[in-house]
Structure 1
Amino acid sequence: MRAALHTTALVWGMAITGLSSALAAELESATASLQTRPLERVLDGRIEAVHEATVSAQTSGRVVEIHYDVDDYVEKDALLLQFRDKDQRARYNAAKANYDEARAEFERVKDIYEKQLVAKSVLDKAEARLKSTKAAFEQASEELEHTRVRAPYSGIVVKRHVEVGELASVGQPLFTGISLELLRASVDIPQEMVRVVRQRQAARVLLDRNGQSSVDAESLRISPYADTRSHTFNVRVRLPEGDHGIYPGMFVKVAFVVDEARRLLIPRQAVVHRSEVTGAYVLDEQGGLHLRQLRIGEQFDDGMVEVLAGLEEGEQVALDPIRATAYYKEQQAGERQ
């Protein structure tokens, strides 16, 4: 089939014939070769956040400050909201004073005990008081910290549930947010694909329309059952951490590996674009240079492109189309003279 396509391929202009061997040597070239590459099936997907959570109140109190609103980006541990903390701070100060006093007393008694001036029971009593006041101090510190609500991870606020001045109770929702650190694409695949997708566990998310930029999936999570109406299986394609230029809610294309195939490949840099036509400069065995029309298929991340028609395995293509064009023009000028 390729032979037929090759013989019927269009040839632009005249071939540059009689190129010197030195000239042919100057043109860096690559060989069109058959290589085994994954055969993919591309389906539509939607980007989701892996982490989506609602932060709830861990103490009761009146809201006095709100530092972020809907659509704001929040860094991890940033202060989201402040409750009135007068009562908690008073308990904290009292507990800290008792703890500091008990610690000083324990150190004093310990020093005296080491000099064998007091009984062991006196030291044990001071140590017990120290532990008791320390526990009370830690509890008061935690209660005070609960008046300051912080972000559990970096992300975007998608909903705010309270207003300044509102009295909140324990367990009441305060903020809902999504993380941009970990994303996944949700895709529904037909039932005839589920077996091979389970076996190969390989997919990539296409970041642009022509598929030149993509990111490989870190993992695939396939639903154990099909939707009763559409008979499709949901697949969650998890992406590695990083900024990939995509956000929750966006539609994307996801390519699943379903097989392998031998494909005719050439480097992307050898491809020439002339208006709406695509081609490459091909070197023949006699040193001739031909500008030949090609039909290009998939483009791969490693810089190779698939040739569907117009080229045969083993043929040489020039890697510098600009220099090849210059040689062509020089040859044409020489023929006119």
Structure 2
Amino acid sequence: MFSRVWVFAAVCALLAATPLQAAEGPLVEVVQAKKTLVRDELVTFGSLRSDESVMIRPEIDGRLATLHFREGQAVEAGALLVSLDDAIARAEFAQARANLNLAEKNFERAQMLFKRGASNAQALDEASAQQQAARASLALAQARLDKTEILAPYSGVLGLRQVSAGDYLTAGQDIINLEVLDPLKVEFRIPQKAVSQVRLNQSVEITLDAFPDERFIGEIYAINPRLDVAGRSQDIRAHIDNDDRRLRPGQFVRVSVILAERPDALIIPEAAVMPIGDQLFVNLVVDGKVERREVTLGKRSNGAVEVREGLTGDETLISAGWQKVNPGMSVRTKAVEQGA
């Protein structure tokens, strides 16, 4: 009986001294660093604007005779949009042309008489002046007649008209707006501390609620050299291609200014980083044992962090369970995917 008790006690002591878990090592989760594109971005908000926007207005008073467009229609530069009643303008043009014909004939007679000595130089000068005045009157009448037809200043899309055929229009009265929708302008502001980071031809990306899963690429083309005194911010404009016309002027957008891009940056789970004082470390598994290595981190996003220095990309990192291990300790590993 005594010998059996002694053997049982010896076995328990042996198991306590060399437990199975210690022999195999603790179980930890490990991941591989991923190489992916990382961007340094300046995020702000802005609005979309038409590349060109104009309100079509008459330059002279007159009755609106004909509308040559449909609301929302795309038009080409130089297309006839509006015709005003031109009866008076045509009559003035005809009168001016008749006056010019008479003035030219009078000038020819004055030249003939002057050559024969039957007239003096003063009469010739007066006839010449009358001829020039008649030409100017004809040009003025032609300009007034031309202004009875209103043309599109550039290609674009028309908005909603404010008048109807038969209305009497005054000079400067709103008729319809014309918008250039491709490209569009993006107007946004940046704080003064970021002024040195933004430059011409820099890439931007915009997102908006209407298309939550899409990013639209643009480029900065204008920077206001003067900062707003009240907000200490700088106005920026970029162009966004809009050949499919899905984007609309006036939409509120989220703007990301791309400051730098690193296409092969190393990304690891933020949970794998172990801070010790002012230093940051990760725990690696090399030949089944723990190895600790100092790292320098970069951008953080959505539970992941960029490693700038300290890793080459082929290491196996402990992402969970590093709190219970020390350098040189043997461990068991369970591989997981980043983000799992």
Aligned to 2:194: 196
Deviations 1:288-316 (CA, angstroms, capped at 9, x unpaired): xxxxxxxxx9xxxxxxxxx968xx7699x
Aligned to 1:73: 74
Q: Could you say what secondary structure the match of 1:180 adopts? A: strand
- The one-letter amino acid of 1:145's match is D
* Aligned residues between the structures: 237
Runs of 4+ in 1 over 6 A off after TM superposition: none
Q: Could you say what secondary structure the match of 2:179 adopts? A: strand
Aligned to 2:264: 265
CA gap 1:65/1:210 in 2 versus in 1, 3 angstroms = closer
- The one-letter amino acid of 2:220's match is A
- The one-letter amino acid of 2:205's match is L
Q: Which runs of 5+ in 2 are unaligned?
A: 1-29, 208-212, 266-298, 300-304, 315-340
What is the CA–CA distance in structure 2 between the aligned matches of 1:216 and 1:204, rounded to whole Å?
5
Aligned to 1:48: 49
CA gap 1:8/1:38 in 2 versus in 1, 3 angstroms = closer
Q: Does residue 97 of structure 2 align to residue 99 of structure 1? A: no
- The one-letter amino acid of 1:9's match is Q
CA gap 1:199/1:103 in 2 versus in 1, 3 angstroms = farther
- The one-letter amino acid of 2:31's match is T
- The one-letter amino acid of 1:224's match is D
Deviations 1:163-190 (CA, angstroms, capped at 9, x unpaired): 011122233222222233663212354x
CA gap 1:10/1:196 in 2 versus in 1, 3 angstroms = closer
Contact 2:32 2:313 in 1 (8 A): no
Deviation at 1:62, TM superposition (A): 1.5
Contact 2:195 2:234 in 1 (8 A): no
Contact 1:154 1:181 in 2 (8 A): no
What does 1:165-244 correspond to in 2, within 5 Å?
A: 165-180=166-181, 183-189=184-190, 193-197=191-195, 200-202=198-200, 203-206=202-205, 211=215, 214-221=217-224, 224-226=228-230, 233=233, 235-239=235-239
Taking structure 1 as the reference length, what is the TM-score of the superposition? 0.56
Deviation at 1:67, TM superposition (A): 1.1
Identity among equivalent positions (%) equals: 23
Aligned to 2:31: 8
Deviations 1:178-234 (CA, angstroms, capped at 9, x unpaired): 233663212354xxx4322355335433378565x623211123750456xxxx947
What is the CA–CA distance in structure 2 between the aligned matches of 1:125 and 1:113, rounded to whole Å?
12
Aligned to 2:323: none
- The one-letter amino acid of 2:203's match is R
Contact 1:184 1:236 in 2 (8 A): no
Contact 1:64 1:84 in 2 (8 A): yes
Deviation at 1:136, TM superposition (A): 1.2
CA gap 1:198/1:49 in 2 versus in 1, 3 angstroms = farther
Q: Which runs of 5+ in 1 are unaligned?
A: 1-6, 12-31, 267-296, 298-306, 316-337
What does 1:1-337 correspond to in 2, within 5 Å?
A: 8-9=31-32, 39-107=40-108, 109-110=110-111, 113=114, 118-180=119-181, 183-189=184-190, 193-197=191-195, 200-202=198-200, 203-206=202-205, 211=215, 214-221=217-224, 224-226=228-230, 233=233, 235-239=235-239, 246-257=247-258, 260=260, 263=262, 265=264
Deviation at 1:111, TM superposition (A): 6.1
CA gap 1:104/1:235 in 2 versus in 1, 3 angstroms = same
Contact 2:76 2:152 in 1 (8 A): yes
